[in-house]
Amino acid sequence: MASTVDFADLGFLRVAAVAPRVHIADPAANAREVVGHLDALHGADVSLALFPELGLTGYTAEDLFFDAHLLKGTLEALALIADCPVPVTAVVGLPWRSPDGRLFNCAAVVAGGQVAGLVPKTALPNHGEFYERRWFASGRGIDLEVDSDFGLLRLCPNQLFQLGSHRFAVELCEDLWSPQPPGAAHSLAGAELVANLSASNELVSKADYRRDLVRMASGAWVCGYLYAGAGVTESTKDLVFGGHLLAAENGVLLDESERFGLDGAELIVDFDLDRLRHDRMQNKTFADSPRPQGHHIAAVAVAPPRLDHLRRIPDPHPFVPKDEAVFDARAREVLAIQAAGLSRRMRGAGVERLVLGTSGGLDSTLALLVCLDALRELDLPTENLWALSLPGPGTSEHTRATVAQLAAATAIGWKEISISEAVSEQLRNLGHEARDDVVFENVQARQRTQLLFNTANQVGGLLVGTGDLSELALGWCTYNADHMASYNVNSGVPKTLVAYLIRWYASHRAGAALAQALQRVLDTPISPELLPPQDEDGGISQRTESIIGPFELHDFFLYHYVRGGAAPEKIVALAGLAFAGRYERSEVKRWLKGFFQRFFGQQFKRTTLPAGPKVGTVSLSPRGDWRMPDEAEATRLIAAIDRLPETR
């Protein structure tokens, strides 16, 4: 069955960077190499193909650039590429002699039988191993209309090229290395993608510098950046070129090629330009930067093809790094941010004690570990953490035992106080007999919070909140109960990351006894434990994820909606890729509807959140990242989900 999703309509653009085999001073052979790649890339639904600097002659042609016959052959090679019938836009490098006698190092944008424009290189390196000024004039300040065999062309560095609904710009190699890269101005003028034709030779550690340069340029300019470097088949008389191909998006390296391949290389990536538009709206430093004047817009003669699938599979757990080394560093940093925020809060409040409600669940356990780190930072004993276990009608024996095990392993101050009698008294005073409704549940939650705040007053400490980012997004907390604290260390940590942090702590920082207790926490089902156990063994009757849906889905929804501004149809399509074989499309739609209903309906709880540290790019603090009216409605989003077909 054909896909009902066109990812091109969702803002994705498929592009390729290519390092073909180079035939030095043989433009016709180089053109045939380009055409061969274009044919193959068309079959992969590529919209734009980027080739290296001076690729039609070879970057290392040296004084042969003055050969009139070579220049004539280069124009014939360009015509051969223009005549290629496949609807892929090609960006190729060539020397171009202007009517006034100057020779420019240019990029030609070719599509649909037409040359859309010529972009000259502005920064010509003439130091170290480079001698480009021997052959070429700088394109800085050039804006010429050239009457050529390809019609009237604009020769100008300040051009944007319209490809369907997207705009891209071109810069050449050293342009990116210069103090004022033209790509910055191109991006501010509206280019969502910057393409760089390059011939950067290889030196020890230069690839690392090049990689960082491309990645940081994409972040500073909030753009996609595609880089194609000349390959090994250039002349190796004095230099070696590696054919380094790179793609980065808003500070993140999407992919790169292996270097030094004698048969050339291709790198195909999908850029999410829809998300870049969202990021540009949000980033006021970008939005408020002065816009350059005088950029021309040139339309290419082909449109992007339909994309029935993505090569870029979304991470099902976007808050959790896949790479073990990256996650190790991330875990250390997240815990350090949490502990630093809490210890600074303690010092500012002039207190040396902390109070924490411990349930034996994930969130309170992570908060406990953060409290221990904060006390260690302040050189205070672990006994200064007063942990209260407050079992009620829904508390299982399993979690009661877990709390005791955690307390024994950490040597904290610990006390168990049953709230069952106090809950029964409040229910009697209310004349409320039901034992399975929201009143019954919330009486327990508020009784616990009252005891915790009063204990904090009694010992002169701060009450540490435990609710995580995912629960705050869903409003999965009782208003003015576990919703409230003196300082919430978990407010910026999503549920999927909480479990990984605890697992990391158990492996890297815990002794044997604590590691065993932490594993017990990880093995426990997620539950608020507010309804009485349903079996004789006192097992957990409430399973949070069976009520509100899987947290891994909700964290995926949260990330793509808040961080990426994605519409429902895009979220469902991405989830279908990320969770293929795990959740049916109907399940994804069902839980996404629930997410939006809760996210909008529970905003009033987030409006009055206590302070807590931001640890990642997504935060719901009403004083920081997320401002939303309490009365906003999710009707349009729910309707959009209902309109989506049940099958992909």
Q: Are 90 and 81 in contact (CB under 8 A)?
A: yes
- Edge-to-edge strands, sheet with 487-488: 413-416, 385-389, 353-357, 461-465, 487-488
CA dihedral 211, 212, 216, 218 (to 10 degrees): 10
Q: Are 578 and 553 in contact (CB under 8 A)?
A: no
CA-to-CA dists, residue 530 to 204, 439, 494, angstroms: 61, 11, 22
One-letter amino acid of 514: L
Residues in the chain, total: 648
Q: Bridge-partner residues for 15, per DSSP?
A: 48, 269
Q: At a CB cut-off of 8 Å and minimum separation 6, what does 249 contact?
A: 218, 223, 224, 225, 271, 272, 276
- In this structure, are strands 89-97 and 48-50 parallel, antiparallel, or unpaired? parallel
CA-to-CA dists, residue 328 to 339, 388, 504, angstroms: 17, 31, 8
Which is catalytic among the residues 84, 156, 173, 371? 173
Query: 454: alpha, beta or left, given left = phi > 0 and alpha = psi -120 to 50?
Result: alpha
Q: At a CB cut-off of 8 Å and minimum separation 6, what does 502 contact?
A: 362, 365, 366, 369, 518, 521, 522
Q: Are 553 and 572 in contact (CB under 8 A)?
A: no
For this structure, is 371 an active site residue? no
Distance (Å, whole) CA 13 – CA 166: 8
- Edge-to-edge strands, sheet with 193-198: 252-256, 245-249, 224-229, 193-198, 166-172, 159-163, 296-299
Distance (Å, whole) CA 596 – CA 560: 12
Q: Are 49 and 15 in contact (CB under 8 A)?
A: yes
Q: Are 179 and 217 in contact (CB under 8 A)?
A: no
For this structure, is 156 an active site residue? no
CA dihedral 41, 6, 224, 259 (to 10 degrees): -30
Structure tokens at 570: 């895009």
What angle do the packed helices 495-508 and 512-522 form, to 10 degrees? 160
Q: How many CB atoms lie within 10 A of CB 236?
A: 11
Q: How many CB atoms lie within 10 A of CB 280?
A: 19
Distance (Å, whole) CA 22 – CA 40: 18
Which is catalytic among the residues 53, 192, 202, 256? 53
For this structure, is 121 an active site residue? yes
Distance (Å, whole) CA 410 – CA 422: 29
Q: Phi and psi (nearest 5°) for 104?
A: -115, 145
Which is catalytic among the residues 33, 84, 121, 589? 121
Q: How many CB atoms lie within 10 A of CB 212?
A: 12
Active site residues: 53, 121, 173
